[in-house]
Amino acid sequence: MASYPEFADIKQFYDWKCYDDDDIRTYVEIDWITPEQYEEIVGKPYENKGEIK
């Protein structure tokens, strides 16, 4: 059984402007996607901005 949202779903929501860079960063911080996948989605290198608050 697959987890939701999958990478393709996250990317689609970003493309639709439902998510912004900070939302995608959160998915990296909770280990849902990798920093490399972050870069693929947003087109910029992942930079850790600190812990989730």
The whole-number average pLDDT for the span 14-28 is: 98
For residues 7 and 37, the answer to whether their CB atoms sit within 8 Å is yes
Helices (H), 1-53: 7-15, 21-29, 35-42
Residue 32, pLDDT > 80, answer yes
Residue 25, pLDDT > 70, answer yes
**Poorest-pLDDT segment among 4-8, 17-21, 33-37, 46-50:** 46-50
Non-local (6+) Cβ contacts of 27 within 8 A are 10, 33, 38
